[in-house]
Structure 1
């Protein structure tokens, strides 16, 4: 379990080390979409815990979802990077998300199970992939909505 703590710590911290390379304007622009998705995934995690879709034997603290390191580490920062390079091209966005989500589902999940971090219980890998796809549509839709109605920017506007 001690080595699992190290893996989880580094899995959470390493993505944050890439934030200076994202750029301040990009970070600021896509922060609402990434935060919205973090809240969405936290709510989803609560439902998943009750319905036993997956199980995290690893606890950050009592009454804290086990997936918090995933949510506020690679998921949050990965969302910013994905939006930075694919926003405005929906096909590319979907393709990149399918690749990333498939790598996580079919390879990363095996490693997480091996180190004792998470395992699927009432969810299969194809169901998890479908859930990830739905989340990617929700995040893109939220960002389009935010750009169009909150800050009144077109999705094709370039970052400078």
Structure 2
């Protein structure tokens, strides 16, 4: 089995294994914002094609596999966990997101490229960090809006 296939499977399976530890109330409360965050990443991934921000060996189908396993795995579940632990403390939320975004933008991005999961072309690690950080602000506002309207 190729390393890229193993990474994709790990992206999908490992985060979902942790969900048994997340309280059902948190899953229900934060699943909407996690879906919204996934949609934002899907838009970014779609824009990556015409703007040639990154490429994936194997064409559009392999890119779709990469995108979906990342969005449905670590991004969706990670968003649930981050909101579970930090919602209500914006400073803590921003700090945790900054750390996670830095880890993804630099060491994980480097490893993913070394394992040929993708190759950045017109996108740099700083762009990953900035996009995901801006998404953090957007989705926190989205969750705040939802939370206030559901009280």
What TM-score does the superposition give when structure 2 sets the normalisation length?
A: 0.92
The Cα offsets for residues 96-153 of structure 1, whole Å up to 9 and x where unpaired, read as: 000011011110001100111022111121122111110111111110011112x12x
Counterpart secondary structure, 1:123: coil
Higher helix content, 1 or 2: 2
Which residue does 1:85 correspond to in 2? 85
Which residue does 1:124 correspond to in 2? 124
Which residue does 1:46 correspond to in 2? 46
Q: Where do 5+ consecutive residues of structure 2 fail to align? A: none
What is the CA distance between 1:4 and its match in structure 2?
1.7
User: Are residues 1:110 and 2:110 paired?
Assistant: yes
The Cα offsets for residues 26-82 of structure 1, whole Å up to 9 and x where unpaired, read as: 000000000011112111211122111122225684783631111111010000000
User: Are residues 1:133 and 2:140 paired?
Assistant: no
User: Are residues 1:24 and 2:24 paired?
Assistant: yes
Question: What is the CA–CA distance in structure 1 between the aligned matches of 2:102 and 2:30, rounded to whole Å?
Answer: 23
Question: What is the CA–CA distance in structure 1 between the aligned matches of 2:83 and 2:74, rounded to whole Å?
Answer: 14
What is the CA distance between 1:13 and its match in structure 2?
0.6
Q: How many residues were matched structurally?
A: 151
Deviation beyond 2 Å, 4+ runs, structure 1 = 56-66
What TM-score does the superposition give when structure 1 sets the normalisation length?
A: 0.87
Counterpart secondary structure, 1:109: helix
Question: What is the CA–CA distance in structure 2 between the aligned matches of 1:40 and 1:24, rounded to whole Å?
Answer: 24
Are the counterparts in 1 of residues 8 and 66 from structure 2 also a CA contact under 8 Å?
A: no
Q: Where do 5+ consecutive residues of structure 1 fail to align? A: 153-160
Question: What is the CA–CA distance in structure 1 between the aligned matches of 2:133 and 2:7, rounded to whole Å?
Answer: 26
Say if 1:63 and 1:57 are closer, same or farther in 2 by CA, change over 3 A.
closer
